[in-house]
Structures are given as structure tokens and as C-alpha cells.
Structure 1
Amino acid sequence: MTHAIVVDEIGGPEVLKWRSVESRPLGTGEIRVRQEAIGLNFIDVYFRDGTYKAPKFPFVPGKEGAGEVIELGPDVSGIALGDQVAYCGIDGAYAEEVVLPAAQALVLPEGVDTRTAAAMMLKGMTAEYLLRQTFPVRPGHTVLIHAAAGGVGLIAGQWAKHLGARVIGTAGSDEKCALALEHGYDHVINYRSADFVAAVADLTDGRKCDVVYDSVGRDTFPQSLDCLRRRGMFVSFGQSSGKIAPFDIGILNQKGSLFMTRPSLFGYTATREELQACAGALFDVVRSGAVKIRINQTFPLREAAKAHETLEARGTTGASILTV
């Protein structure tokens, strides 16, 4: 037996229940990991509240974590007992122990501990595919990143600056703006006290941005389109304020032959080779010091409900983790 956070029905944070669960035997190619830290992400909320459909009920939420390999199933290669590993995109992370395919586990390099890994895998690999694959950022580009003080935002700001971009962000308080300015941003707009569309136009002398990365959704659309230059790209990768309402696709033509995409990490890491390349790039920029991972909130795993309440109230900055 082990313990996990279990969801029996969709609802608010109160449906997250701490209880005993059975430890299942390992199958071929699987490993068992004793977790030390687990990432807290908005996607966990989406499954809990029904925004995304859970595969079954009851279920254990969570998509990323890190810990020590304590058991190997048949036909596992490349991973040994005692290895420190991290994973991303595997369901059931809110648990003391997890079973996962060895092919989805990433052995941590020297200089990256389990707490840092749990805080950065989903967010950092998201930043990697956004900045290096969805819209490859180059020197001279101007980018706008909403939720600049969030988990993805703080990583993406540093990484975009490292890639040579001019980086503009938005955040919801002066404190969050100040935090983002410490993490690579050239300018950060408090969207509660300023019109971010007008501010972007002023900052760029009317040239606007090459790309907008948006995890907010309803509250920032379609205004974000007005921050883009002709043939710029709008990248929607989350919806913390709610879903973007249906719209006439002709608006993209009207506002300058714009591009729009709704990618996901799992669309960019479907193969082992893609996963390793994405994670490897993240490990490299973190180990080099170009991107620093800031863990600003830590909650015991059994207090996952409190963690969700804080996250949904936009009371977090940087990364948050659950500890076992």
C-alpha cells in the first residue's frame, strides 16, 4: 500500500482526498519511483474541475514528478536502481510512489536535483517547445508573454532573453511585474492598471510583436491579436481565465494575415527522441545558469487542496511543488 491524492468526482479543491491506494505490480519496461517532489500545474486543475475530461474515476491527478528508482520491471535498460529520475506527462503524479514506463523517465544530470526537476519539467519543457519549436525565437524578435510571473512565464522570459529577443510581459500586480523584471523581461505591463495593447504599441513604436505566447485565454483574447505585427503568430497554450470563446477565423485576416496555433507539450514529445531532445535543452540552460528555476511555494502532498486553492486564486509566482 501507498498513499495518494484521489479524485472521485469533478469539483473544487475539496474533492482532492488523501488516502491509501494499492501498489500495482510492474509490467514489462516499467519502473517504480519513490517520489520526493511533484510539480503543481494548472493542467491539474483542468482535470479536477472537468475542463479536461479525466480518463476514468476515481483518478490520481498530476503530470510530473521526480524521485528515486526503487524497483525495475522486466526488460528495463538504461536506468538503474537508485537513479534519480524525473518524468513529465504521466498521469497519477500526486502519489508517494508512481509506476511509469522507463522510456518516459529521464535520469537527472549532475547539478539538477529532484525538487528543481519537479518544479521545471512541465513548465520548462513547455517553454522549450514554445520558444524553440512552435515559433523559433531569434535575435531581433520582440515577444509578448502573458502571465510573466507564473511558472512558465519566469522560465520563458529568461530563455527568450538568452535567445536574443526583446521580451515584454504582462502580470497582475506591481509585485509580480517586479519579479518578472528580475527574470529576463525588458518590460512588464501591469494589465490591471494599464491597457496592455496600448502599452505594447508604445514600447515598440507601433511595430508590435512577432509572437504572443498566451496561457491566460479568455481575459486576453482577442486583444492579444492587436499586439501582433503583420503575419505575426498568436500561440495559445493555456486558459487560466477560461476558454477563448468561439470566433470568426476571418479576424486573423482582418488584423494582418495572422497565424494562430494551440499546441501542447505532448504534441512535441511524442517519441523518445523528441522527449530527450526537449528535456536535454532544458537541462542545458538550467545547468549553464542561463535559466534559474525559482520555487516560490511548497506544499505537503497531503495538502494538495490548499495548493489548488492558492493556484486558482492566482496567489502563486514562479514554480510550486508538492513534497512527499
Structure 2
Amino acid sequence: MHAMFVREYGGPEVMTWTEFPDPEPGPGEVGVRLRVAGVNFMDTGVRRMPVRTWSIPTVIGVEGSGVVTTLGAGVSDFAVGDRVVWRYHQGSYAEQLVIPADVLVRVPDEIDDETAAAVLMQGLTANHFTTETYAIRPGDTAVVHAAAGGVGMMLTQLIKARGGRVIGLVSREDKVQAAAEAGADHVLVSSGGGFEDRVRALTDGAGAHVVYDGAGAATFRSSQLSLRRHGVHAYYGVLIGNPTFDPSQLPNSILLSYPAVADHVPTREALVRRTNELFDFIRKGRLTPRIGARYALSDAAQAHRDLESRRTTGKLLLIP
């Protein structure tokens, strides 16, 4: 089998299509043939620089859907032929994988492989943001950075499904339509900071209840200045850049959070329950992952180039 291997840190050119022996599952593991891998900004960070819990050389990628091909000793929850999806398994840019059974979730018949692969990482992230990070209530106003991206579009849909109002931020004029189609009530074009006055104008001077900010240090202060008293700044842009700040300078007694999706699904029971919440939203037509582009798995380097260029909208997928 082949996988996308990284031997050294660097640009997309360090990714090489490499042949490996077919893996065999051990106790508690499942052999899976990949059908679709999801591309996440996390993947580019792992390729570019040291990231906690990762080291190189490595096969990159964390998310995908596939079909069970073999079962390791002690696995009883799955059968050969089951369609499965996973949120996080290191080394997912590979034609064949061995994955611990407890990180897999069975895919319902009515959910196709691409939708399953497109929804899990970013969908669970968006679900975490709109429930446990800040529980969206009817009438709340949320600012969503990168509103035409994969996380941003899912966030927008889940905020709207829970009765909230969305002010979407996009980096370029040609992304406005995609953010609006996802459900954003207002879309502002901003490639950095300086948007707080426009947010306040749209909230009658009060500010937003929550800002979901994955855009890095450049937007950090403006996000905070966009919030009302005791608003929540959900900051997840650490792979783009971390700011330095003085806690005494936080405006309006706001709450600052670094929400990690692993805390949303800390157990297998939580993973299955939260994933089924997403599948239920999809069944009801309230959540529709937008596929921005599809690439051959062997062409993952181009997917990374496109993602890092900010030219893409929606979710990028890799197909073996």
C-alpha cells in the first residue's frame, strides 16, 4: 500500500508518495481500507513545524472514512464490510490503515462516504464550539472567522440551527457568496484586524456574544473588542500564530477559551453520541458539508498548497 510520508519539516514539497508493507491489526485494532481522507489545517501545521504529540518522520493526516477489511483479536463491535469514520488517527493519508476500534464510529447507510469524512473533525469542532464552549441560544450573535472555510461553514449552519445570528468574516470578496449560502446573516470582508467597529454597528453598539476566531494573532485583539460584556472569545488559531497579551487588558470582562475538540469527545460514549448528533443534523437537512475540492490521495501536496493559499472554500477531500 502507499501513504503520504513526511521525512522533514517544510513546504508541500516534503510530502512523498511512499510504499509501505500492508499493515496488520493487533489486539483491539481494525484494518481499514481508506475511501476518503479529510484535509485539515492541522495537517499543514504538522508538516511545517513541530507540533505537540507529533514527530517526524511520519505519515500525516488524521481524519477519514473507509471500510473494515480485517479485525484484530478481541474486536466485537465491528464486522468486515462495515463502513466507518474516524475523527483522529495519526497517519490517515494512507490507502490502508490499522486503527484502534474505540476511535471508530459506524456510518449509517443514508450517509455517504464523502459526507462522513467531511463532517467529523470540523463538525465535532463546530458542535463543541456551539455547545460546551459557548452554548448558542436563540437571538445570540456570533462572529465567525473564515466563514467560507470548512469549520466556518459548519459553525454557521449549527449556529443558525440553534437560533443564533451570524456575522461572518472572509478574507476576500469572492468568498462572500459561499459564506452567505452557508447561512451567515452578514458577511464582512477583512484580511486581518480592524473589523470591531463594523461588528458593533451590526449589534447596536453592544457587541457579539461570542467570537469564533481561528485566524491567528492578527485578529486576536479585534475579536476581543468585538465582544459585549462577558462575551466569549473562542480562540483556536494557534497553528497560525499565538499573540502575547496582558490579562488585565481583556476588555468587557470577557472570557477567553482555547477549545480543544478532544475535550468534547473524551470517551467513546461521547464520541458516538456527538457524532450521531451530527448525523441527525445531516438527516434533517440542517447541516450540509460543502465539498470545496477533491484530490487524488497521491496529490495531497496540491491540496495543501491550495489550502494554505486561502483560495479554497469548504472542505477538501483526498480520494485513493
Partner of 1:247: 245
Q: Which residue of 1 aligns with 2:279?
A: 283
Partner SS, residue 90 of structure 1: coil
For residue 16 of structure 2, what is the amino acid of its counterpart?
Answer: K
Aligned mates of 2:21, 2:192 — CA distance in 1: 51
Change (3 A) 1:83 1:175: same
CA contact (8 A) 2:130 2:159 kept: yes
1:84 CA displacement:
0.6
What SS class does the counterpart of residue 31 from structure 1 fall into? strand
Q: How does 1:1-324 map to 2 (within 5 A)?
A: 2-53=1-52, 55-192=54-191, 195-239=194-238, 242-252=240-250, 255-324=251-320
Give me the whole-angstrom Cα distance separating, in 2, the residues matched to 1:257 and 1:194.
Answer: 20
Aligned-partner Cα distance in 1 for 2:237–2:192: 23
Paired positions, count: 320
Contact 2:69-2:81 at 8 Å conserved across structures: yes
Q: Quote the Cα distance in structure 2 between the aligned partners of 1:283 and 1:100.
A: 22
User: What is the alpha-carbon distance in structure 2 between the residues aligned to residue 54 and residue 11 of structure 1?
Assistant: 18
Contact 1:89 1:266 in 2 (8 A): no
Q: Deviations over 1:34-89 (max 9, x none)?
A: 01110000000111111514633320110101011011111112211101100011
- Judged with a 3 Å threshold, the aligned counterparts in structure 2 of structure 1 residues 75 and 260 are, in CA distance, closer, same or farther, namely same
Distance (Å, rounded) in 1 between the aligned partners of 2:48 and 2:282: 33
Which range moved further: 170-179 or 305-314? 170-179
Inter-partner Cα distance in structure 2 for 1:9 and 1:94: 16
Deviation, structure 1 residue 192: 4.3
CA distance in 2, matches of 1:57, 1:170: 34
**SS at the partner of 2:17?**
strand
Q: Which whole-Å CA distance do the structure 2 matches of 1:28 and 1:168 have between them?
A: 48
Residues 65 and 323 (structure 1), Cα distance of their counterparts in 2 relative to 1, 3 Å cut: same
Q: Deviations over 1:215-241 (max 9, x none)?
A: 11112111110100001110012346x
Q: What is the Cα deviation at residue 193 of structure 1?
A: 10
Unaligned runs of 5+ in 1: none
CA deviation digits over 1:231-284, x for unaligned, max 9?
Answer: 1110012346x21221111112xx111100112111221210111122111111
> Alpha-carbon deviation of 1:195?
4.1
Moved more, 48-57 or 301-310: 48-57
Query: Relative to 1, partners in 2 of residues 1:278 and 1:114: Cα closer, same or farther, differing over 3 Å?
Result: same
User: What is the identity, as a one-letter code, of the residue corresponding to 2:146?
Assistant: A
Q: Match of 2:307, SS? A: helix
Q: Kindly provide the amino acid, as one letter, of the partner of residue 298 in structure 1.
A: R
User: CA 1:193/1:234 → structure 2, altered by over 3 Å: closer, same or farther?
Assistant: closer
Name the CA distance, whole Å, in 2 between partners of 1:86 and 1:38.
10
Change (3 A) 1:194 1:244: closer
Unaligned runs of 5+ in 2: none
Q: What SS does the corresponding residue of 1:182 show, helix, strand or coil?
A: helix
CA contact (8 A) 2:193 2:221 kept: no
Q: Is 2:153–2:182's contact at 8 Å kept on the other side of the alignment?
A: yes
- In 1, the alpha carbon distance for the partners of 2:72 and 2:108 equals 23
- What amino acid sits opposite 1:305 in the alignment? A
Secondary structure of 2:313's counterpart equals: coil
CA distance in 2, matches of 1:193, 1:71: 48
User: How far apart, CA to CA, are the structure 2 residues paired with 1:50 and 1:178?
Assistant: 33
TM-score (norm 1): 0.96
In the alignment, is the contact (CA less than 8 A) between 2:2 and 2:95 conserved in 1?
A: yes
CA shift for structure 1 position 115: 1.1
- How far apart, CA to CA, are the structure 1 residues paired with 2:38 and 2:159? 22
Amino acid at match of 1:133: E
